[in-house]
Amino acid sequence: MRRIYNLPPGWPPPPAGWNPDPDWQPNPQWSMPAGWRLWVDVPDTALLGTDAVAVDVPDVEAVPPAARRPWRVIGWAAAVVVAFFLGVGLGGVGGGGTAVADAEASASASAAVAAAEEQRAELESEQADLTEARTALEADQAALVEAQTALKADQEDLEARASAVAKQEDKVDSRESDVADREAAVEAEEAAGISGGGATGGGAGDSADAADDTSEATYYENCDAARAAGAAPVYRGDPGYASHLDRDGDGVGCE
C-alpha cells in the first residue's frame, strides 16, 4: 500500500519534492470539506494520474499532538508548481473503492475550479473588450461634436459672407439706378441743347460745356462701380471720368 496526499479543494499545492515532517500539520486557517480524507492509502499497483504523487508520510495517528506544528508555505511568489491532485487510477485496484471515490471527488472539484477560472478569464476579456469599445465610442462622439462645431462655425461664416454680398449687391443696384437716372438726365439735357442750339447760338462751346456737366454729374467711386455700371474703361471726357480712376494719367480710367 502507498499513502497519497489528497489535496483538498482551494488549498495551495505543496512545493515540488515535498515530503512532510513527522510532526507536520496543515494550517488551521485552511478549511477542509466535511469528511474529507487528507491521506488516502492505495495499493502499490494502482495507477496514478499525472497530478497525483505518492509521498512517504508518517503515521499521523501516532504523532503526539504536542509535537505537531503548522506547515509553513514556501514562497507564494515562487514558480507555479504542479498540483498534487489524486489521479484517476482505477486499473488493478482490488479493495480501494473508497480511495477511488475520493479521487473522483477530488478530480471533480478540480475540474469545477478550472471551469470557474476559465469563465472568469473569459468574463475579464469581454469586460476589457467592452471598455475598449466604450473608449472608442467616446472618442468618435468627441470627434463628431468637434466636427459639428466646426460645421456650425463654417455655416455662420458663410451666412455672414452671404449677407455682406447681399448688401454689396443692394449698393450696386442703388448705384446703377443712380447712374441710369443721371444718364437719363444727361440725355435729356443733350436733347434740349441740340434742339435749342440754333436759336441761342451756343454752338460747339455749349456742347462741350454739356459734356463737362455730364462728366461731373456721373461719378464712380471706384473701378468696381464703373464696371458694375458697364462704363469701364472710362475715357477722358466720358461721363464719370475722374483722375482717381486713371492712376497712370493716360486718359483711360479702369483699363
> Residue 111: which pLDDT band, with cuts at 50, 70 and 90?
confident
User: How far, in Å, CA of 171 to CA of 177, rounded?
Assistant: 10
> Residue 218: which pLDDT band, with cuts at 50, 70 and 90?
confident
**Residue pair 65/100 in contact by the 8 Å Cβ criterion:** no
User: How far, in Å, CA of 166 to CA of 198, rounded?
Assistant: 49
What integer pLDDT is reported at residue 3 of this predicted model?
Answer: 80
Residue 71 or 107, more confident = 107
Residue 69 or 156, more confident = 156
Q: Which of 108, 113, 103 is nearest to 52 (CA)?
A: 103
Distances (CA, A) of 137 to 127, 128, 134, 140, 141: 15, 14, 5, 5, 6
Arithmetic mean of pLDDT, 25-46: 84
Cis peptide before 43 (omega within 30 of 0): no
| 248, pLDDT greater than 80 | yes
- Cut 0.75: pTM above it: no
> Residue 181: which pLDDT band, with cuts at 50, 70 and 90?
confident
> Residue 126: which pLDDT band, with cuts at 50, 70 and 90?
very high
Task: Give me the chain's average pLDDT, please.
Answer: 75
User: How far, in Å, CA of 141 to CA of 164, rounded?
Assistant: 35
> Residue 86: CB partners within 8 Å, gap ≥ 6?
4, 6, 7, 40, 48, 49, 51, 52, 99, 102, 103, 106, 107
| 242, pLDDT greater than 50 | yes
What integer pLDDT is reported at residue 114 of this predicted model?
Answer: 86
**pLDDT tens digits for 130-175?**
999 999 999 999 999 999 999 999 999 999 999 999 999 988 988 8
What integer pLDDT is reported at residue 46 of this predicted model?
Answer: 61
What integer pLDDT is reported at residue 178 of this predicted model?
Answer: 84
Task: Give the largest Cα separation in the chain, rounded.
Answer: 159
What integer pLDDT is reported at residue 121 of this predicted model?
Answer: 93
Triad 240, 191, 242: Cα angle to 5°: 10
